[in-house]
Amino acid sequence: MQKIKQPLAILLIVAFFLGIGFLTDLVWDKMEKATHPQDFGDIVKKYAAEYGIPEHVLFAVIKTESGFDPNATSRAGAIGLMQMTAIAHEDTVARLKDGTAFRDLYDPDVNVRHGACYLQMMYELFGDWELALAAYNAGPGNVSKWLKNPDYTDEYGKLTYVPFDETRSYISKVNSAMEQYQKLYYTTNEGVES
């Protein structure tokens, strides 16, 4: 009888710890999804597809820029979900020819459309998501200057140092959020949901 009880006890202990591990993973996943929501998902999906931007990139930018607050306004005067500046708005209005007023960027649909358009413009200009994010934050003129400066680039002209602390921090935060969104919701870099 003792020989039967011992393997059963070991099996119960293993099952108990596996169950604890499963519950811990489940709770952790729920907490991560709460801190990395997919608010305004229909809007994000629509404009991610329209502008060829992976969904997890747009979600990460919105999380970093405004924390999904459509009424957010920065000290620099950037507004809405994607924290569009007046200059970026002028660029997107010229591209989209839609005549929206700057105040219209408080509307989530308008803001994400213009933000995605501007982010795509930065990607077209620099051909790299990290540089596109740097340009989204610091402006394309600054990124162009940095790429011409040998103190900030390697021998191949690749940016190795971002001289603005805020932009370095921004890129790091967006990259971290992109990794989390990718892990939590997507199976590929193309933004296919898991």
CATH number of the domain at 163, please: 1.10.530.10
**48-53 CB contacts, 8 Å cutoff, 24+ apart:** 48/116, 48/191, 50/113, 50/116, 51/116, 51/117, 51/119, 51/120, 52/120, 53/116, 53/119, 53/120, 53/123
The pLDDT value recorded for residue 6 is: 72
pLDDT of residue 21: 53
Pair (4, 73) in one structural domain: no
Residues 47, 143 share a domain: yes
* 136, 98: one domain: yes
- Shared-domain flag, residues 92 and 149: yes
- Residue 190 covered by a domain: no
157: left (phi over 0), alpha (psi -120 to 50) or beta: left
Q: What is the pLDDT of residue 194?
A: 40
* Domains in the chain, number: 2
Q: Is residue 194 part of a domain?
A: no
d(CA 29, CA 163): 35
Q: Domain range holding 116?
A: 38-185
65 is catalytic: yes
Regarding whether 27 and 7 lie in a shared domain, the answer is yes
Q: Please report, in tens digits, the pLDDT of each residue of the chain (194 residues total).
A: 455 567 666 666 666 555 555 545 554 566 677 889 999 999 999 999 999 999 999 999 999 999 999 999 999 999 999 999 999 999 999 999 999 999 999 999 999 999 999 999 999 999 999 999 999 999 999 999 999 999 999 999 899 999 999 999 999 999 999 999 999 999 644 444 44
Say what the pLDDT of residue 192 is: 44
**99 and 160, same domain (yes or no):** yes
Per-residue pLDDT at 33: 76
Considering the candidates 65, 90, 124, 130, report the single residue annotated as catalytic. Answer: 65
